[in-house]
Copies of this chain bind each other. A is one copy, B any other.
Amino acid sequence: MGELVRVVVDAMGGDYAPAEPVKGAVDALNENDHIFVYLAGKEELIRQELSKYTYPKDRLEIVPADEVIETGEPPVKAIQSKKNSSLVAGLTMVRKGMADAIVSSGSTGAVLVGGQAIVRKVKGVERAPLAPLIPTEKGVALLIDCGATVDARPSHLVQFAVMGSIYMESVMGVKKPRVALVNIGAEEEKGNELVKETFPLLKENKNINFIGNIEARDIPKGAADVVVTEAFVGNVILKLYEGVGAVLISKVKSGMMASLRSKIGALLVKPALKQTLKSFDVSEYGGAPLLGLRGLVVKTHGSSKAVEFKNSILQCIQFKEQDLSGKIQEHLSEKE
């Protein structure tokens, strides 16, 4: 690999900005020498954070941007009016080809709107879906779409299935990824209008390995590699994963404190348990790419710490090497 992969990090986005995104960027640079990082945000604050660390200075540059988009702001208005925000500055660099990717932990709405409006969609792509990896019993699955396109149409879901397959095959190395459609029963005739219309379209699509409907209970079991659904349901799935996991873990912990006997046991199982629970933590799996754009936009969890920023930055190498956008364009524009 010759060229460096150039990643803009939105240093002002997320709950722990700028400390955690800056640390994540430094850690990524120290771990991998194929990365070049642009830190977009308030110069003074970024310099202050950077002064704490040692890192290869020739592979990092600050992109001064004085404005910050807050979580509560209406996304469209924020993107249009705050031209000098870290997010808009970073997206613009990706659009102009000055950077390959941007990683942001800022407002999901602003990242989605900005990604589509500034970086723009690949030719042939109708909607750009947000596609996080979620843990399963056997590994991970791609959940697509989980928040970008509300009130999606069947043709959107078909494109999501194709993009998700390309992602799992090229980035995650899964051969012939199993694509399934989220439904409330396994039979073809089940479900609402959207899934009933989508099912035959997926069935006849030659570019994917469609295995049929999947019921929500089988997602955590790893019954599919690409889990296709519209944004509302996808978002509910992602957040419920998180919620049920968190409550169950807290119940397990308090349950083990119930007696002296179990307290002693708890001390002994703690290290093993911690490892297990970590493997089922949604936030462990780096950022979610907004697929189908002319450059790479990765959204990380609002509460991301340095390790998640680092992982998301390093992910971009694989995205770039595999030419994800190019492959998507090739598949989706030939169909028109």
Nearest B residue to A234 by beta-carbon distance?
A: B184
Please tell me the number of chain A residues within 8 Å of chain B, measured between CB atoms.
62
**A232 at the binding interface (Cβ < 8 Å):** yes
**A251 at the binding interface (Cβ < 8 Å):** yes
Nearest B residue to A72 by beta-carbon distance?
A: B187
**A266 at the binding interface (Cβ < 8 Å):** yes
**A246 at the binding interface (Cβ < 8 Å):** yes
Cβ-neighbour of A255 out of B218, B246, B273 (below 8 A):
B273
Given A184-B147, A217-B243, A248-B280, also A268-B272 (CB < 8 A): no
Contacts of A184 in B (CB 8 A): 147, 150, 231-232, 235-236, 239
Contacts of A280 in B (CB 8 A): 247-248, 251
A217 contacts B192, C-beta separation under 8 Å: no
Contacts of A233 in B (CB 8 A): 232-233, 236
Interface of A is mostly: helix
Contacts of A239 in B (CB 8 A): 184, 215-217
What's the least CB distance linking A58 to chain B, in Å?
42
Mark each residue of chain A from 241 to 267: 1 if its CB lies under 8 Å from any CB of chain B, else 0: 111111111111011101101101111
Cβ-neighbour of A265 out of B193, B232, B254, B267 (below 8 A):
B267
In the bound complex, CA of A266 to CA of B244 (Å): 22
A258 contacts B240, C-beta separation under 8 Å: no
- Give this chain's copy count: 2
In the bound complex, CA of A248 to CA of B259 (Å): 23
What's the least CB distance linking A316 to chain B, in Å?
27
**A54 at the binding interface (Cβ < 8 Å):** no
What's the least CB distance linking A119 to chain B, in Å?
23
A268 contacts B258, C-beta separation under 8 Å: no
What's the least CB distance linking A135 to chain B, in Å?
9
A192 contacts B151, C-beta separation under 8 Å: yes
What's the least CB distance linking A34 to chain B, in Å?
34
A256 contacts B244, C-beta separation under 8 Å: no
**A219 at the binding interface (Cβ < 8 Å):** yes
In the assembled complex, 11 residue pairs joining A and B whose CB atoms fall closer than 8 Å, in A order, are A220-B243, A233-B236, A244-B245, A248-B248, A248-B280, A255-B269, A258-B275, A259-B272, A264-B265, A265-B268, A269-B269
Q: Which 8 A-B pairs have the closest CB atoms?
A: A265-B268, A255-B276, A217-B243, A265-B269, A262-B272, A216-B239, A217-B239, A216-B240
